[in-house]
């Protein structure tokens, strides 16, 4: 490990990688718990967990062992045959959620693609009532594939990629009247919403919003899809974000934390909605994925779920999230001109600034704290569910020092 090695790698990256990402000059070499170490040997306190992915932190022994054991046994067969780990993972997800059936894929975008295809085909083939429109919310984020970027309610992600997939009807988030108007024509196959808008800036809707959507979708015969890609698998202190509102969707999408860092996505549905992706006797396979639900990814996901359960990480995430949330609220009070709001739930938290957050995020990184930007002006915290009080105190102290610095510079 050396500074020269890191500089050489970054130089090489500049020549061989597509230039779609905008990255700081850091190459990560290894991780341990909530710490990351770069190739030059520098330590970082990781409050991003790979964008809400590494639920168990880095190099967790239970996850490492499950991956190693499965790698020695069977990595991949494709879905030409049943896969033991996939069947058992589906059983686990059905046990901890509203869902009866699960389709596995490899990412959040793919999970949402599956949900969209399910919704269209459910209406067209199962109900015999073609409905094409998807209702989505302003400020949402659902992925980067053509269909998911088309239903993402932030224009900047769609720029330069038209023509997009439609028809899509966008409504303001947390606005039941607008949702009612959008669903009234009864031409929507699905309404898709994040229980907390994450990439859009950590927006928690009013209590009753999700229940209101449930009622509207029931009334209009629309499938309700909760995109739990970021909020799922313990992030909010419960298994799924929808649990806080006491409602369940027809379809839920998962990815990110499900594999603890091993790529896996899932589209989970009620028995009725799942008919949207069921094959018909003599017909073609309606949807599929070569890698989806492969033995390695599913063994990893089962280890993640088992560890969250065995180690009581849901309650831990809720309690740690309260500590983090209180600390962020204190900072908002301490820097009234600079910070405007502290929000979130469990370990999905944000502090909204009165200016762009990129500079604060960069200064935190310079001081060894990794956080990320959400919605342009929000500093996002999405640490591993194992984060403890000492880590949170350290992160808050660094953020306070940065806010001091930024406030002085004004």
> Is 227 one of the catalytic residues?
yes
Question: 46, 227, 245, 250: which is the annotated catalytic residue?
Answer: 227
Give the shortest CB-294-to-ligand PLP separation in angstroms.
16
Q: Which is nearer to ligand PLP, 31 or 139 (CB)?
A: 139
Tokens 């313990």 -> residue: 234
> Is 291 one of the catalytic residues?
no
Beta bridge partners of 351: 342, 379
Comparing CA positions, the residue from 109, 50, 47 lying closest to residue 383 is 47
Give the shortest CB-55-to-ligand PLP separation in angstroms.
14
Q: What residues make contact with ligand PLP under the rule CB under 6 A?
A: 51, 107-109, 112, 141-143, 194, 198-199, 227, 229-230, 255
Q: Which is nearer to ligand PLP, 257 or 403 (CB)?
A: 257
- Residues 390, 311: Cα–Cα separation, whole Å: 19
Pairing of strands 369-370, 133-137: unpaired
Cβ-contact 384, 324 below 8 angstroms: no
- Residues 41, 28: Cα–Cα separation, whole Å: 9
Comparing CA positions, the residue from 305, 255, 229, 236 lying closest to residue 60 is 305
Q: Which is nearer to ligand PLP, 102 or 198 (CB)?
A: 198
Q: Which is nearer to ligand PLP, 110 or 250 (CB)?
A: 110
Give the shortest CB-75-to-ligand PLP separation in angstroms.
21
> Is 117 one of the catalytic residues?
no
Give the shortest CB-108-to-ligand PLP separation in angstroms.
2
- Residues 293, 287: Cα–Cα separation, whole Å: 13
Beta bridge partners of 339: 353
User: How buried is residue 177: exposed, middle or buried, by Cβ count under 10 Å (0-12/13-18/19+)?
Assistant: exposed
Give the shortest CB-230-to-ligand PLP separation in angstroms.
4
Give the shortest CB-164-to-ligand PLP separation in angstroms.
16
- Residues 157, 150: Cα–Cα separation, whole Å: 9
What residues contact residue 215 under an 8 Å CB cut-off, 6+ apart? none
Question: 141, 173, 226, 381: which is the annotated catalytic residue?
Answer: 141
Q: Which is nearer to ligand PLP, 267 or 303 (CB)?
A: 267
Q: Which is nearer to ligand PLP, 304 or 402 (CB)?
A: 304
- Residue 300: both structure tokens together: 């990893």
Give the DSSP H/E element, type plus range, for residue 157.
Answer: helix 155-158
Question: 103, 173, 250, 256: which is the annotated catalytic residue?
Answer: 256
Catalytic residues: 141, 227, 256
């Amino acid at each position: 490990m050396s500074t020269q090695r890191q500089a050489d790698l970054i130089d090489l990256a500049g020549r061989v990688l597509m230039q779609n990402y905008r990255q700081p000059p850091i190459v990560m070499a290894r991780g341990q718990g909530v710490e990351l170490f770069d190739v030059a040997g520098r330590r970082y306190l990781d409050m991003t967990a790979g964008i809400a992915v590494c639920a168990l932190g880095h190099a967790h022994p239970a996850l490492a062992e499950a991956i190693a054991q499965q790698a020695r046994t069977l990595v991949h067969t494709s879905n030409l045959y049943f896969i033991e780990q996939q069947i058992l993972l589906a059983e686990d997800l059905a046990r901890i959620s509203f869902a009866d059936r699960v389709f596995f894929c490899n990412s959040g975008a793919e999970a949402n693609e599956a949900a969209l295809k399910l919704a269209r085909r459910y209406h067209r083939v199962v109900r015999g009532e073609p409905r094409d429109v998807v209702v989505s919310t302003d400020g949402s984020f659902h992925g980067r594939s053509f269909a998911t970027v088309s239903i993402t309610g932030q224009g900047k992600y769609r720029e330069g990629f038209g023509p997009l997939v439609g028809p899509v009807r966008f409504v303001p988030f947390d606005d039941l009247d607008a949702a009612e108007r959008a669903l009234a024509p009864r031409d929507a196959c699905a309404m898709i919403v994040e229980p907390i808008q994450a990439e859009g800036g950590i927006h928690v809707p009013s209590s009753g919003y999700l229940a209101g959507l449930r009622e509207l979708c029931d009334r209009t015969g629309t499938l309700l899809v909760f995109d739990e890609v970021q909020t799922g698998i313990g992030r909010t202190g419960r298994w799924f974000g929808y649990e806080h509102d006491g409602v369940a969707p027809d379809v839920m999408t998962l990815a990110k934390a499900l594999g603890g860092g091993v790529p896996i996505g899932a589209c989970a549905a009620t028995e009725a909605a799942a008919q949207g992706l069921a094959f018909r006797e003599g017909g073609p396979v309606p949807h599929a994925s070569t890698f989806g639900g492969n033995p390695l990814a599913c063994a990893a996901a089962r280890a993640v779920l088992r560890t969250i359960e065995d180690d009581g990480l849901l309650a831990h995430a809720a309690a740690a999230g309260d500590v983090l949330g209180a600390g962020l609220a204190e900072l908002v009070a301490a820097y009234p001109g600079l910070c405007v709001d502290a929000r979130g739930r469990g370990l999905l938290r944000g502090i909204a600034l009165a200016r762009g957050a990129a500079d604060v995020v960069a200064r935190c990184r310079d001081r060894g704290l990794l956080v990320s930007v959400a919605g342009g002006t929000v500093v996002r915290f999405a640490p591993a569910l194992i984060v403890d009080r000492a880590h949170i105190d350290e992160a808050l102290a660094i953020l306070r020092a940065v806010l001091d610095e930024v406030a002085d510079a004004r």
